Structure 1
């Protein structure tokens, strides 16, 4: 296991046990959260402002491989994930529907989440890859949310 993967798993474990903030916003360590949810980057690419598409395609492949590795490792812990397609949620949000967090935040830039319900609690955990816009960095992220919220 690479050092990066070890650090990513440590981030997942820290978020599992971390209290949810009372107010929505960013923490000093770069975690976004609010009542009932947390979202953190596991890996972030460079931006792609001066790219002809080549670096973006390479980075996309790398991030999908990193996501697949995280899914494999977390599946060894908690079994096969549920695959959540956020496309429909994005369409509903654009149409004005108010969505619960963390889906309201994620559906604008993450299309698929791989989610687990660990047997030791009500929190759900998911990983996914997202990008806010073609020129912006790609993110491998983890989100944790209260089962009653998401």
Structure 2
């Protein structure tokens, strides 16, 4: 079951130590104070006229919402947080710490839970219109800026 696999990945990241330096991990990218995981990745949309991508976007949003419901049962209602202002601030030259800088470049908004001193983050990364969609999760001790 996909949801069970996603929950297992989140549980793993919640207990995994953070590395001293940023780099690739077995599930995504990690660095001081954070792990970002790619839970699922769609096919790319190079040959799509746009209609297929719209359907897949709806599917990925539904997958995120389904996983968010399971996490809500565990940890209560999430905060929903737009990352648009972080992207704008980053473009204006402000330093945005990871994982928020990584996330705001492709994820427009996230669901957030605060659990045992760590943020649990869930979102859909869109990227360019031809690129695959990704269901991403992060675990971090870095507060949202």
Taking structure 1 as reference, are residues 80 and 129 closer, same or farther at Cα in structure 2, changes over 3 Å only? same
Partner Cα separation in structure 2 for residue 149 and residue 63 of structure 1 = 24
The CA deviation string for residues 36-94 of structure 1, in whole angstroms up to 9 with x for no partner, is 00100111100001100111011101000000001100000000001111000000001
Structure 2: any 5+ residue segments left out of the alignment?
none
| 1:30, distance to aligned residue in structure 2 (A) | 3.4
Partner Cα separation in structure 1 for residue 27 and residue 110 of structure 2 = 20
Partner Cα separation in structure 2 for residue 51 and residue 149 of structure 1 = 35
Of 73, 94, 103 in structure 2, the residue corresponding to residue 97 of structure 1 is 94
Taking structure 1 as reference, are residues 149 and 78 closer, same or farther at Cα in structure 2, changes over 3 Å only? same
The equivalent of 1:11 in structure 2 is 9
TM-score w.r.t. the length of structure 2 is 0.96
**1:137 aligned onto 2:132:** yes
Partner Cα separation in structure 1 for residue 108 and residue 142 of structure 2 = 20
Taking structure 1 as reference, are residues 125 and 54 closer, same or farther at Cα in structure 2, changes over 3 Å only? same
**1:126 aligned onto 2:116:** no
Across the aligned residues of Structure 1 and Structure 2, the Cα RMSD in angstroms comes to 1.3
Partner Cα separation in structure 2 for residue 123 and residue 149 of structure 1 = 11
Runs of at least 4 residues off by over 3 Å: 147-150
**1:65 aligned onto 2:62:** yes
**1:21 aligned onto 2:16:** no
Aligned pair count reads 145
TM-score w.r.t. the length of structure 1 is 0.93
Structure 1: any 5+ residue segments left out of the alignment?
none
The equivalent of 2:27 in structure 1 is 30
Q: Please show how residues 45-84 of structure 1 align to structure 2 within 5 Å.
A: 45-84=42-81
